[in-house]
Amino acid sequence: MARPQTLLQPRKTPVQARSAHTVEAIHTACIQVLLDGGMERLSTTRVAARAGVSVGSLYQYYPNKQSLLAAVLQKHLLNVVEAVEASCLRAKGQPVAVMAASLVQAFIAAKFAAPDVSRALYAVASEVRGEAVVARLTQRSQLALCDMLATAADRHFGDLAPISFVLSTAVVGPVQALLASSAAEPVIERVREHLVAMVLAYLRQMGSEVVARRAPR
């Protein structure tokens, strides 16, 4: 009997442009079917029909709908993590005020690039044991945060591990609540401002001020 984790693994990874295009079409179709009818109506047959491929072609990549959903979830979360990593890279060497604004803006923008997709995938994460994927990618975000904070122009931090953990988890809850409530743009903007203020206050509290050295006369 196959192990649960094995059943969630794709059969093969696309290496050619044509295969990558097929997988992209399958992923898009999976999201569309999920949005149309939820988990109850999601099936590999419906996804294949929406993608314009045969069920056999879909099975070349995914043995069941759970493995397909796991792949779609992982891709979505990876996009979010890469956005956070890019924001951390851009903010290196900047004051913590810039870092706080960059982090919050990047995370919210990534989650709200396709809010309906984010909502749908939040709902199915538990169905495909998404905890392991979330944990692995959260660790990537935390490493990027550590690298960024180590270069802060106006604050020096000691142990960055707990700080990056708090930052990477503190913004998730409010943003998830915004998604769940289908919040309007003005509400999202106000919450963004509050999150930036919260993150900035935390960083200023946890770090010691960097005092610029005076040039010798």
The pLDDT tens digits of the residues spanning 176-192 come to 999 999 999 999 999 99
Instruction: Let me know: does 180 contact 121? Beta carbons within 8 Å.
Output: no
Percent of the chain with pLDDT over 70: 89
Q: To the nearest whole number, what is the mean pLDDT of the chain?
A: 89
Same domain for 204 and 108: yes
Q: Is the pTM of this model over 0.75?
A: yes
Q: Which of 40, 63, 86 is the last residue of a domain?
A: 63
105 & 21 share domain: no
Q: Which of 114, 123, 95, 126 shows the shortest CA–CA distance to 199? A: 95
pLDDT number for residue 1: 45
CA 66 from centroid of its chain's CA atoms? 19
Q: In the numeric block, which tokens belong to residue 59?
A: 């099975």
pLDDT, tens digit, 9 for 90 and up, residues 131-154: 888 888 999 999 999 999 999 999
Determine the pLDDT at residue 13: 55
Final residue before a domain boundary, out of 63, 84, 100: 63
Are 41 and 85 contained in the same domain?
no
Task: Show Cβ contacts of residue 3 under 8 Å, excluding neighbours closer than 6 positions.
Answer: none
Q: Check whether residue 43 and residue 148 sit in a common domain.
A: no
Share of the chain above pLDDT 90, in %: 73
Q: Are 57 and 143 in the same domain? A: no
Final residue of a structural domain among 43, 63, 83: 63
Residues 134 and 182 in one domain: yes
Q: Is the pLDDT of residue 216 over 60?
A: no
Which residues span the domain enclosing 199? 73-209
Residue 4 belongs to a domain: no
Contact yes or no for 78/137 (Cβ under 8 A): yes
Residue at 44 is within a domain: yes
- Could you tell me which of 100, 103, 93, 104 has the C-alpha nearest to residue 201? 100
* pLDDT score of 128: 78
Residue 108 domain-assigned?
Answer: yes
Q: Is residue 132 part of a domain?
A: yes
Judged against a pLDDT cut of 50, whether residue 160 lies above it is answered with yes
132 and 197 belong to one structural domain: yes
Higher pLDDT, 8 or 112: 112
Is pLDDT above 70 for 217? no
What is the C-alpha separation between 193 and 154, in angstroms, rounded?
A: 21
pLDDT over 50 (residue 2): no
In whole angstroms, how far apart are CA 74 and each of 25, 27, 79, 216?
16, 11, 9, 54
pLDDT at 31 over 70: yes
For residue 200, give the amino acid letter: L
CA distance to 20, 168, 188, 201, 205, per residue, from 94 (Å): 38, 19, 25, 16, 17
SS3 assignment, position 209: strand
Residue 109 lies in a domain: yes
Rounded (10°) CA dihedral 17, 22, 27, 30 = 170
**Cβ distance 67 to 27 under 8 Å?**
no
User: What value does the mean pLDDT take over residues 108-129?
Assistant: 87
DSSP 54: -
Q: Do 55 and 83 share a domain, yes or no? A: no
Classify residue 156: in a domain, yes or no: yes
Asked, for residue 1, whether it belongs to a domain, the answer is: no
